[in-house]
Structure 1
Amino acid sequence: MRAMTIDTTGAPDVLVETELERPVRVNSEVLVRVVAAGVNPIDSKTRSGRGVSSAITAWPAVLGYDFSGVVVEAPYEAHPLQPGTEVFGMTSVPRSGGSYAEFVAVSTLSVARKPRTISHVEAAGIPLAALTAWGLVVDVAKAHEGQRMLVHAGAGGVGHFAVQLASYFGARVTATGSASSLDFLRSLGAAEAVDYSAVRFEDVVGTMDAVIDLIGNVHDDTGTRSLGVLRPDGLIVNGPTGSWPTFAEDAAAAGVRATTYKVAPDASTLSVIARLIDSGDVRVTVDSVFDLCDAAKAHTAIDEGHTRGKIVLRVSES
């Protein structure tokens, strides 16, 4: 099979096209022919030597968590996901091979039926970002009617799902973004959209019950400044790994609750998200699509940090 691999960490050009053996399906896994693969910031971090690169034990390595494709081998004859079934899901990089390849073997706990109403390219942009948003907003922050929630980087891959899910569950959402993203944020359900380049968000947003922090302190001390808008005993949830080294200490000093979050593949939640997609209550926005052989260009684009929604690789024909 064709795959984009890395033999070492470094700049985007370390991604090269390679011929590999197909993965072998074992136990309760399905073998999936990948039609499209999502590109996420964690992929870029790992490629550059951060992220989960320290856990890579064999080279060349295939990156990529998200995929949408078609089952070619099922675990057993009566399994619900039989050959021909369209599915989407997440791999477990680097414990297994990634989705920048024509085939993946993954646990059935990591895949669900693809939403019927969208393409494979769109579906490949959903799993990691939407599951992360669900964990941040629903599982941890427990979005509910009347809750005041601030979402930073609301137009990004995780952010655009976080805004929608928080709004769907009744929270009053304030989202930060660039000037060009304000209308987009409102279309996702944000009651208020703040241009971070024009105003200091803490001067205009009022008191919040929860902050979904998708930036940390890597830019303009966004994380630390967020502590000042939380009510006493409010909650801040930080997503990006390594984005705020003093997170716990700073939150404790401010008198608010704080936690990081790490996503896990979850077929049952993916199935719920698929239903929300098919019902029109949640949508995925694809910023750009690259062919598999142009994975380096996709990584360059995500490194620039101005993506609205998701970047996706087209791996094969549907």
Structure 2
Amino acid sequence: MSTSMRAVELVRFGAADTAFAVRELPRPVPGPGQVLVRVLATSVNPLDLQTRRGDYRDQVTLPAVIGNDVSGVVAGTGPGADDFRPGDEVWYLAPVFAGQGTYAEYHVVDQALVARKPARLSHVEAAGLALVGVTVWEALVERAGVRAGERVLVHGGAGGVGSAAVQVAKALGAEVVTTARARDHEFVTGLGADHVIDFSAGDHVPRVRALGGVDVVLDTVGGDTLTRGPEVLADRGRVVSIVDIAEPQNLLAAWGVNATYHFLFVSPGRAKLTALARLVEQGELKPVIGAVLPLADIAQAHALLEGGSAGEGRRRPRGKIAIAVHPQDETPRQATSSPAAARTS
């Protein structure tokens, strides 16, 4: 049995086309309470772009394997790891900035963070849902406490987090308002959005107010969304932001509506994955996979997520960009490319 594996290392901070190198690295060995997973699929997230650019250089020592989503098959277990056996299909969100990342053929993780993959999802789909799904669950359920009958505003409903958030908010019984480009209106409506606002057609605030305001704002885009949040919130409304915004924002208006703000840096956990899996199995949550690339094309995946390479005229796909690490072992189901597909299994 080989003791090495193929992985993509981040070798320098900066532009995608010079940041990565495909290398042979030692295969990790599971320790006590850990499982070794043969990674069949991972994905690329905005967090990866920030890491590659050097935003978190104090927490990343180069060269480094980055990435956090995994769907794959258990290949081995360490002492005391009795929850899983070799051959089990699993998915999980790896801890951020803790050990080797997931741009690799194998990955080691504490079994407490791992859950069994939903049977209705391919590995590509599961890998595309892990981080964004856990983020959305923590934002809407654990932080905002969304209740049936409330109205939720999701900024950026066609994106990776936004597309999952629209579906989860709808599954929770909320009335969903989202912002999206005009070309994505039909798409996000198919995901379950009740009201869609073209954010490029002017200020969203008057249009949200015309609906009667909202109880919860989920910020996935940054900008001035924290300042503008109170302008659309009902009394005792909640704002959850997943964007680390460096510029100061004036939150004085938040006092006037007794607003609560939550700032979220996602944390992994089996319970969240299990809750998401229930929604998947009930047909209420479907990953949106906009593109699938091989492991060797991580740099291209980063360029796509940033909006396409210069001169190619390629625009950022809807939803997630997945990476098929072992494509010969994974036959992805058709990626969600239409509103109807997004609401069916």
For the pair 1:141 / 2:144, whether they are aligned, the reply is yes
Identity %: 39
Q: Paired residue for 1:108?
A: 111
For the pair 1:298 / 2:301, whether they are aligned, the reply is yes
SS at match of 1:150: strand
Cα distance change of structure 1 residues 159 and 81 upon mapping to structure 2, 3 Å threshold: same
Moved more, 291-300 or 273-282: 273-282
Q: 2:33 aligns with which of 3, 25, 28?
A: 28
Deviations 1:150-189 (A, max 9, x none): 1100111111111111111111110111111111111111
Q: 2:9 aligns with which of 5, 9, 26?
A: 5
The answer to whether the 8 A contact 1:109-1:265 is kept is: no
Structure 2, unaligned stretches of length 5 or more?
Answer: 308-314, 330-345
Following superposition, the deviation at residue 101 of structure 1 comes to 0.3
Following superposition, the deviation at residue 78 of structure 1 comes to 7.8
For the pair 1:246 / 2:246, whether they are aligned, the reply is no
Following superposition, the deviation at residue 249 of structure 1 comes to 6.1
Cα distance change of structure 1 residues 211 and 11 upon mapping to structure 2, 3 Å threshold: same
For the pair 1:18 / 2:28, whether they are aligned, the reply is no
Deviations 1:121-176 (A, max 9, x none): 11110111000000111111111121111110011111111111111111111011
For the pair 1:276 / 2:256, whether they are aligned, the reply is no
Following superposition, the deviation at residue 64 of structure 1 comes to 0.4
For the pair 1:309 / 2:312, whether they are aligned, the reply is no
Distance 2:250 2:318 in 1: 27
The answer to whether the 8 A contact 1:2-1:18 is kept is: yes
Q: 1:211 aligns with which of 186, 192, 217?
A: 217
Q: Paired residue for 1:48?
A: 53
1:147-296 alignment runs, 5 A limit: 147-206=150-209, 207-217=213-223, 221-242=224-245, 245-246=248-249, 251-252=254-255, 255-296=258-299
Cα distance change of structure 1 residues 178 and 288 upon mapping to structure 2, 3 Å threshold: same
Distance 2:154 2:207 in 1: 14
Aligned residue type for 1:92 = P
Following superposition, the deviation at residue 75 of structure 1 comes to 3.3
Cα distance change of structure 1 residues 250 and 291 upon mapping to structure 2, 3 Å threshold: farther
Aligned residue type for 1:271 = T
Cα distance change of structure 1 residues 83 and 250 upon mapping to structure 2, 3 Å threshold: farther
The answer to whether the 8 A contact 2:39-2:72 is kept is: yes
SS at match of 1:20: strand
The answer to whether the 8 A contact 1:215-1:223 is kept is: no
The answer to whether the 8 A contact 1:236-1:258 is kept is: yes
Following superposition, the deviation at residue 223 of structure 1 comes to 3.7
- Give the count of matched residue pairs: 313
Q: 1:83 aligns with which of 82, 86, 95?
A: 86
Following superposition, the deviation at residue 274 of structure 1 comes to 1.5
Distance 1:252 1:38 in 2: 39
Cα distance change of structure 1 residues 62 and 271 upon mapping to structure 2, 3 Å threshold: same
For the pair 1:92 / 2:95, whether they are aligned, the reply is yes
TM-score, reference length from structure 1:
0.93
Distance 2:253 2:44 in 1: 32
Distance 2:263 2:255 in 1: 14
